[in-house]
């Protein structure tokens, strides 16, 4: 009967189950399996419903505190199903009465679980009607309005065209002609609530507090979505890793919209860790790009609903070519999941968006699953730090992993000249190699072998700043004092005290030690540095005009 109703009216089906054996059969038709309030602590029933992969709606028992429902939710998640909803339907208050504690609604929503408010069952008077359940339908509108104002994610209403003739809950059912006006009222209230959550109140402090509260909820929701994946790493994940590890072709990722962007990032991660991968746009694939798929490739398709038309259109070609298909989806019973060789479940309880519309938690979970695949492959292939450096030479990370030999200049890249090379050729060699210095090389013959020693670098400016030996001798002959301050020649005068002479000797010895260390210091290509004597700079002749020459 439920299957006929679903086919005829094309609507989702919600139904109760009361025994574990009913779960599999009901899941063939129903979109949501509902756990009755009196059975909300029945572990085997909850686990059986969770293992079907359908959405599980747990009605909070009238005897449970708001915080106690987390245990029932944990049973669903531990069974590998994060698609769970909690429904508030009132709390027992003495005999024949139920009350709704509005604090319970935000308490349960703080755990990142969608909360539905069952308005009509909350107005029951259990056993208050002479052996049958009575109710107070006149309070449906104010109670529903209060629940929506408290921020619930949905409302549950029992509706009948003639409640007096209803076979169940006649005293607390809503008359059908009152449904549309009530829904309009609830939608208006919900719009005000959403606007207040996303708006900017006039008081700055309130606005900042509201923004931080929403931001905190977003992070908690996405973190919960990732943590829920841990319990789903089963043999399906192992098969997916094995398919990627045994792939002899390339890994092709495809997805539409936000899922496509996530696919691009996963493909980049795989490519940089030694697995050839790239992104294929499914719409472009249907217009000729399908030619990139080969029989030895593995296609990874990402679609949260598993019913994206552009993705489903590729399945026939993938099967015909013999490529393997891995699906990353939020609905394990979708068309994509059924057609794939391996389907990985990335379903989330809710999106982090306040409207529960924008892909946020679902895309985060899919990205985390892609990273888990890439890192597992990295270890299985024995990918090393040196391999990553060879694939990532650019950027700050590439520089940190770069080897010294990649930075050295060797061979013809170095500006090297012979000892007798003219200054013009020296400057040309220095400029052509772009290193700002050159190396003077001199050959020495020792024991019938040639030993090549390269002199240290001398920059272009140093050759013009330092005086040459000839220039120093001219200075000494003119002043009678050498460059160290010592008197020279027969008629030289004594300069300075005895302590001055001691200080000069210390400076000379220190300079000599520095030159010896410089000669012993090796360079990159194994030569020994030698001190380069400064070269006399090229000085132009003084300019004299013809007029002054005639006057002289």
Collapsed DSSP state (helix, strand, coil) of residue 439: strand
Is residue 493 one of the residues assigned to a domain? no
Assigned domain for 525 exists? no
Is the pLDDT reported for residue 244 higher than 90? yes
> What would the mean pLDDT of 140-150 be, rounded to a whole number?
91
Going by pLDDT thresholds of 50, 70 and 90, the confidence category of residue 199 is: low
| Count of domains forming the chain | 3
Same domain, 84 and 142: yes
Confidence band, pLDDT 50/70/90 cuts, at residue 449: very low
Alpha carbon distance 46, 77 (integer Å): 10
462 in the same domain as 377: no
**Pair 237, 353 in one domain:** yes
Percent above pLDDT 70 for the chain: 76
- Residue 425, φ and ψ in degrees, nearest 5: -70, -35
pLDDT value, residue 529: 42
Given 174, 203, 225, the domain boundary residue is: 225
Single out the residue in 181, 210, 225 at which a domain terminates. 225
Residue 302 and residue 417 in one domain: no
Q: Is the pLDDT of residue 452 over 90?
A: no
Indicate if 180 and 318 belong to the same structural domain: no
Provide the mean pLDDT of the chain.
Answer: 80
Which candidate, 275, 248, 454, 295, places its Cα nearest to that of 373?
275
Check whether residue 93 and residue 199 sit in a common domain.
yes
Per-residue pLDDT band for 400 (boundaries 50, 70, 90) equals: low
Distance CA 290, CA 282 (A): 9
| pLDDT over 70 at 161, yes or no | yes
74, 163: one domain: yes
Asked if the structure places residue 329 within a domain, the reply is yes
- Do 8 and 157 belong to one domain? yes
Domain final residue, candidates 175, 202, 225: 225
Does residue 551 or residue 254 have the better pLDDT? 254
Residue 207 lies in a domain: yes
Q: What is the mean pLDDT of residues 407-411?
A: 71
Specify if 79 maps to a domain: yes
Q: Within this chain, do residues 252 and 205 fall inside the same structural domain, yes or no? A: no
Across 266-270, 519-523, 528-532, least confident range: 528-532
Own/partner pairs for 357-364, CB < 8 Å, 24+ apart?
359/257, 359/258, 359/259, 359/304, 360/218, 360/221, 360/222, 361/221, 361/222, 361/224, 361/225, 362/225, 362/304, 362/330, 363/258, 363/259, 363/261, 363/262, 364/222, 364/225, 364/226
Average pLDDT over every residue of 53-69: 89
Residues 160 and 243 in one domain: no
Q: Which two tokens stand for residue 486?
A: 């010592």
CA distance 131 to 501: 123
Residue 475 is part of which domain span? 411-488+498-520
Q: Does the pLDDT at position 548 exceed 50?
A: no
Percent of the residues in the chain that have a pLDDT greater than 90, as a whole number:
36
CATH number (domain holding residue 146): 3.20.20.70
Return the pLDDT at 500: 78
- Region 67-95: mean pLDDT is 88
The answer to whether residue 551 is domain-embedded is no
CB proximity list for 186: less than 8 A, separation 6 or greater? 144, 145, 148, 155
Residues ≥6 apart with Cβ < 8 Å to 532: 440, 455, 456, 458
Q: Is the pLDDT of residue 149 over 80?
A: yes
Residue 526 is assigned to a structural domain of this protein: no
Select the more confidently predicted residue: 476 or 20: 20
Asked whether residue 200 is assigned to any structural domain, the reply reads: yes
Which residues are paired to 438 by β-bridges? 458
CB-CB contact of 49 with 80 (8 Å):
no
251 shares a domain with 174: no
Instruction: Note the pLDDT tens digit of each residue in 349-392.
Output: 889 988 888 999 999 999 999 999 999 999 998 887 777 777 66
**Per-residue pLDDT, 91:** 87
379 and 418 co-located in one domain: no
The backbone torsions φ and ψ at residue 386, rounded to the nearest 5 degrees and listed phi first, read -65, -35
State the pTM of this model. 0.44
> What CATH number does the domain containing 250 carry?
3.40.50.10490
């Amino acid at each position: 009967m439920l299957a006929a109703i679903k086919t005829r009216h094309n609507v989702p089906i919600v139904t109760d189950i009361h025994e574990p054996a009913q779960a599999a059969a009901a899941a063939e038709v129903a979109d949501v399996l509902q756990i009755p309030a009196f059975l909300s602590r029945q572990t085997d029933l909850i686990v059986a419903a969770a293992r079907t992969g359908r959405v599980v709606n747990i009605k909070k028992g009238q005897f449970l505190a708001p915080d106690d429902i987390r245990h029932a939710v944990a049973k669903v998640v531990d069974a590998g199903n994060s698609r769970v909803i909690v429904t508030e339907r009132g709390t027992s208050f003495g005999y024949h009465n139920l009350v709704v504690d509005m604090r319970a609604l935000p308490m349960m929503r703080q755990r990142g679980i969608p909360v539905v408010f069952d308005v009509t069952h909350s107005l029951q008077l259990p056993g208050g009607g002479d052996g049958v359940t009575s109710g107070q339908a006149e309070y449906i509108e104010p109670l529903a309005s209060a629940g929506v104002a408290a921020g619930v994610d949905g409302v549950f209403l029992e509706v009948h065209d003639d409640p007096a003739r209803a076979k169940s809950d006649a005293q607390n059912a809503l008359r059908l002609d009152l449904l549309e006006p009530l829904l309009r009222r609830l939608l208006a209230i919900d719009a005000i609530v959403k606007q207040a959550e996303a708006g900017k109140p006039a008081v700055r402090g309130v606005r900042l507090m509201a923004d931080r509260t929403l931001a905190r909820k977003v992070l908690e929701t996405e973190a919960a979505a990732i943590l829920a994946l841990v319990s789903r790493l089963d043999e399906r994940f192992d098969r997916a890793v094995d398919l990627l590890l045994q792939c002899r072709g390339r890994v092709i990722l495809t997805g539409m919209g936000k899922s496509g962007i996530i696919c691009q990032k996963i493909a980049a991660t795989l490519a940089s860790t030694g697995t050839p991968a790239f992104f294929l746009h499914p719409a472009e694939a249907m217009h000729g790009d399908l030619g990139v798929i080969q029989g030895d490739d593995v296609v990874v398709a990402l679609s949260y609903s598993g019913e994206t038309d552009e993705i489903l259109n590729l399945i026939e070609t993938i099967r015909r070519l013999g490529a393997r298909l891995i699906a990353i989806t939020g609905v394990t019973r979708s068309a994509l999941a059924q057609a794939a060789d391996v389907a990985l479940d990335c379903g989330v309880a809710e999106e982090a968006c306040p409207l529960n519309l924008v892909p946020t938690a679902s895309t985060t979970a899919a990205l985390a699953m892609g990273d888990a695949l890439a890192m597992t492959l990295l270890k299985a292939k024995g990918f090393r730090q040196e391999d990553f450096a060879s694939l990532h030479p650019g950027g700050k990370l590439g520089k940190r992993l770069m080897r010294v030999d990649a930075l050295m200049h060797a061979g013809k890249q170095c500006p090297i000249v012979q000892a007798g090379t003219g200054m013009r050729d020296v400057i040309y060699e220095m400029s052509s190699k772009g290193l700002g210095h050159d190396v003077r090389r001199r050959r020495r013959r020792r024991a019938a072998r040639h030993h090549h020693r390269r002199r240290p670098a001398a920059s272009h400016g140093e050759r013009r700043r330092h005086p040459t030996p000839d220039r120093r001798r001219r200075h000494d002959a003119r002043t009678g004092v050498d460059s160290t301050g010592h008197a020279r020649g027969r008629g030289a005068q004594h300069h300075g005290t005895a302590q001055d002479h001691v200080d000069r000797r210390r400076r000379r010895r220190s300079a000599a030690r520095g030159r010896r260390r410089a000669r012993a210091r090796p360079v990159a290509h194994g030569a020994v540095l030698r001190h380069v004597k400064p070269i006399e700079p090229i000085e132009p002749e003084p300019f004299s005009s013809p007029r002054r020459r005639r006057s002289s």
